[in-house]
Amino acid sequence: MVMLREKEVEAVKPLAILVYERLSLILFGGVARKLVRTFELDKLFEEAGIYATPTLYMAKVLMASFLAFIVSTFIGLSLYLSSPSMVLLLVVILVSCFTPLAALMVGFLVPFAKRSGRRNGVRFELPYLAVYMTIMALGGLAPERILEKIASIRLFKYIRLEAQRIVRDVKIFGLDPLTAIERNAYSHPCKEYTELMLGYTTTVRIGGDVIHY
């Protein structure tokens, strides 16, 4: 499913970005794949809700780090040659080393930050979601209609995004609503959300009382 979404996005990417991505894979694809396996980035990206290929993402991060090294070194040497001094040389060396490391660290930490933000945001809104779903169930709405309503409510910032993901899986990828909910819940970093949504789908499947769940 991630690959399908990646292809959909790729179809509208500017040529410059496509060239950058291909060059990144050629130069750093092997290293990127090792990093993905070592740090289990496939799972991390799924939990963070990032619809991108981890290998391509890390290859682009490595390419950005490499370019940062080239640019910072070129600028630093240009300054040094115009006004040579030991202090300036030391600064050039430090900047040339720090800049690519900073670019690498920022790119590497972004998925972790997104996962944390997704988990904490959903956890904060979870009590309101439970109340809203109960009210909608009292009105006799089917799971798909409940999700569509949640996906359009601005009161929920993070839960709305989860509902939009689920509705997209139903409408674009043809999953039934309960399966789409379960798929979303299994890959979610918030344990409380996972338990609530899986409990909800189980209750609906067995014909239980959703209102008192």
What is the rounded (10 degree) CA torsion for 143, 146, 147, 150? -160
Residue 13: pLDDT above 80? no
Q: Which stretches of the chain are assigned E, i.e. beta strand?
A: none
> What is the share, in percent, of the chain residues with pLDDT greater than 70?
92
Q: Which of 198, 202, 189 lies closest to 158 in space, CA to CA? A: 189
Confidence (pLDDT) at 71 = 94
Quote the DSSP letter at residue 196: H
Q: How many CB atoms lie within 10 A of CB 92?
A: 18
Residue 55: pLDDT above 90? yes
Residue 34: pLDDT above 70? yes
Which of the residue ranges 3-12, 42-51, 112-121 would you say has the lowest mean pLDDT?
3-12
Confidence (pLDDT) at 12 = 59
Which of the residue ranges 4-18, 69-83, 92-106, 158-172 would you say has the lowest mean pLDDT?
4-18
- pTM for the model stands at 0.82
Q: What angle is formed at CA 31 by the lines to CA 30 and CA 32, rounded to 5 degrees?
A: 90
- Cβ proximity of 58 and 41 under 8 Å: yes
